Structure 1
């Protein structure tokens, strides 16, 4: 081969190598820049010292492991695996850093005792911003949450709980009549009850909505919850700062946000009109949210989102908890005998009267059963993160501001003897009437669910009454680890029968007395 041919070959190879090397440098520089730009927030502070945890993948961390967040069995396994690192586990998810709190002690120390500095929320540009119009206080930072929280504290006053209790008892009586008239639709009665109570509390009138309207509102909740963490943008919130023409994801989520707001408007506008013209009945909207003495600082849209999120939160979680209660009875029938013995001793074994909220002091086992329902099968294995508002140290660790703390609901709930068993007795410790004592299903600290007492009272009332009046049997195979409590159709096969003719007469008499029997017969 001629020397000049060898030179040409060498030159060509040199160019290829140079180009490959240059390309590698550019790609490497880009990857390095991406890594620095999207570096998990917990690793950005030079003094950061975090608990151990899985290493994860480049850029994504452990994010891909949470892709099956709607699969309960998968999530239970994953959350228990995360807890294997110790009382706290560091998990990097995109550019976010979450510290999973795997024991009651850690939850108490970080979420409760340090709530003044751990009550933030990490940015969620999709689920909180676009889908929710920055209107759902559940996932808002303190700057958008404090004013809404101030108003929602009215729900906890003794006067409010007394008034709401009367409505809960009335709607519960209708639910018993619905069970009597349409036992095969037991799961639908749970939703109708829960939605009716919170609808009356928030908007002032008994529920008179079509099946389509109820379905739409239920879908609003489903789609909103489904949006949380579904978009990569919520895990890399820095991307939301790109120019809007580059945010190709916006169209889809804005359409969902528009639909969400239209559903809200269909419920809100009639009530707002009544408040404006002075014909509105007593309600949270009329007497607190839009009352001149309240001096609410938010916009009219903010007020709508605040009112409607009360309905969302109060209706869906209650129906799911009641579904879990039914599964517990089917799986652990021995609990029925203990519960009924207690109720019969208070209300009479011959169906003398229905249990009421005034019986809570005398029905400790039923109160304990409420807490066990919430512990046994947590509705929310994970709740929104409690983000640190400032740097702080704890037990040798240094947590930078912006790090999120997560209550790891499964291992925390299972921190007891024989956790898989449904045992209300474990809560008979003198605090059975305090649903938040030793139980973290409502969150904790300054961001504990405002309506937890209302929820406890509603669950107590309906659990006591259903146990007192009805028998439940399984009508097919059951698996309490796959109970599908969130489904709007029948989650598992159940047979319902009235306990006796005396109990049937009692329900009819009480439903007639409060004028809900006709509604029960017509309920869809």
Structure 2
């Protein structure tokens, strides 16, 4: 190949220079140029394309502290659906199409399912105790987590009437929160989701009249730490692991060490407080059946190791949905504010199925008769994927893809946002258009995997979110119920003009930036029905 001939000539020239006697400044400069050219030529010849960076540092300085998926999308648009970069000496691959993600992360899941060592989020804060950062696929702990989740919230388990009933009941309480305080719509989905998962994971009932439940708040705070610690490039210690040995007192105000210590304390509270509640209730014979009680009882006399695994699994279940479902709900509210025609059509469908007299709220039994509402759910997942980058994968052995060499240890990011914004698959991707999932007769069409947000949005391979079916159910029943009883519209300014929200999402777990809208009951009958369903009439 041409690049090999060039390298050979460069090597010959360097050997000639070094054989001429003592080295000069020019000799050293030529040698440095040679090494840089050698690096660039080797990379161009054997690795996927991508932006060049400076030696060792790579392109780390080009990656922003937020919305990294947009920068990655720019590179994907320029270089193709496989982009190779170097970040602080670590080879990194950005995957920007469903085909490439399927070829690598799904079809070759045995070698693409590990996690890189996340020094900040995993080691220092402690998230490596749970499912998200657990190493795989040969790790018994990882397999233990997957078994527990598959049994409790897998596809079959999520059809259980008990779990479906819990989701419907908590959705009714969510509607009551909107009715009482419609301006605080950002907070209500967090409270509702936290209450639901506390009930499922620990059998803990959040008080209906509580302004802010302490356990819900504990999870919310811990998840804020998770999102920040997981952002690529947010903490220098992830790029320079040796920094973790620097004493805290040397760093200004304790630096990242103080931040990690605080985050770890918050995570420990999320692990310990609800688990301690379950143990106390079981000892008193008052425990409500839950994820935690079922597995503690299964072990009969659980060892400390058993308890630690169950505690970590329950916390993973709790933390996995505590912020992602609220992300979808607030994105839905934003979309309805901006696309009122979508809301009107969905409400007409709901009225035709349930009736306009407001005698009952939607249930999961209505789902097959609500194709347009289902299409809205899919479009919400596409328009704002809750975790646009997912969590990083790590390659455990050398691989070759499309003739490119990908070395062992490469960190792999699946840029889910790029896949769900691909205009060749989703024309005008910035437009919220549920009709893209319907046939001409208005029924849901069968989707190919590459165009199904309910698959792409939850990750790939052995790392796909085990709570995806539970999450999809929660988003569906939340959206269907809200559409049936509320009307969402633009707020007005002091001059009576519409306030048009910006379409902007931020955070590793992606939420719309704060915006204003009006949420009102569609009728007095709708308000009465909400109160009746939560026992306030």
Q: Same fold (TM over 0.5)?
A: yes
2:504 maps to which residue?
A: 482
Q: Which of 318, 322, 332 is the equivalent residue of 1:315?
A: 322
Change (3 A) 1:129 1:436: farther
Q: Does 1:399 align with 2:414?
A: no
2:114 maps to which residue?
A: 120
- 1:498-509 maps to which residues of 2 (within 5 A)? 498-509=521-532
Change (3 A) 1:75 1:198: same
Whether the 8 Å contact between 1:322 and 1:463 is mirrored in structure 2 is yes
1:123 shift after superposition? 0.9
1:186 maps to which residue?
A: 185
Change (3 A) 1:82 1:177: same
Q: Does 1:511 align with 2:534?
A: yes
Q: Which of 135, 159, 165 is the equivalent residue of 1:141?
A: 135
Q: Which of 420, 426, 430 is the equivalent residue of 2:445?
A: 430
1:451 maps to which residue?
A: 467
1:387 shift after superposition? 1.6
Whether the 8 Å contact between 2:450 and 2:456 is mirrored in structure 1 is no
Change (3 A) 1:433 1:151: farther
Change (3 A) 1:453 1:433: farther
Q: Which of 42, 46, 55 is the equivalent residue of 1:49?
A: 46
Q: Does 1:330 align with 2:340?
A: no
Give TM-score scaled by structure 2 length.
Answer: 0.80
User: Which secondary structure state, in structure 2, belongs to the residue aligned with residue 89 of structure 1?
Assistant: strand
Whether the 8 Å contact between 1:137 and 1:145 is mirrored in structure 2 is yes
1:57 shift after superposition? 2.0
CA distance in 2 between counterparts of 1:64 and 1:413 reads 26
2:154 maps to which residue?
A: 156
The CA RMSD over aligned residues, in Å, is: 3.5
1:46 shift after superposition? 11
1:222 shift after superposition? 0.8
CA distance in 2 between counterparts of 1:399 and 1:289 reads 43
CA distance in 2 between counterparts of 1:89 and 1:375 reads 22
CA distance in 2 between counterparts of 1:404 and 1:119 reads 11
1:455 shift after superposition? 0.7
- 1:373-388 maps to which residues of 2 (within 5 A)? 373-388=380-395
2:75 maps to which residue?
A: 81
Report which stretch shifted further, 437-446 or 203-212: 203-212
User: Which secondary structure state, in structure 2, belongs to the residue aligned with residue 475 of structure 1?
Assistant: coil
1:69 maps to which residue?
A: 65
Whether the 8 Å contact between 1:100 and 1:405 is mirrored in structure 2 is yes
CA distance in 1 between counterparts of 2:195 and 2:314 reads 14
Change (3 A) 1:250 1:260: same
CA distance in 1 between counterparts of 2:403 and 2:449 reads 33
CA distance in 2 between counterparts of 1:465 and 1:435 reads 29
1:394 shift after superposition? 2.0
Describe the superposition over 1:365-412 as per-residue Cα deviations: whole angstroms up to 9, x where unpaired: 111111110111222221112222222222212222221222112221
Report which stretch shifted further, 457-466 or 127-136: 127-136
1:341 maps to which residue?
A: 348
Change (3 A) 1:431 1:284: farther
1:320 shift after superposition? 1.4
1:48 shift after superposition? 9.4
CA distance in 2 between counterparts of 1:495 and 1:350 reads 23
For structure 2, the residue ranges without an aligned partner over 5 or more in a row are: 1-23, 439-443, 493-498
* Count of aligned pairs between the two proteins: 477
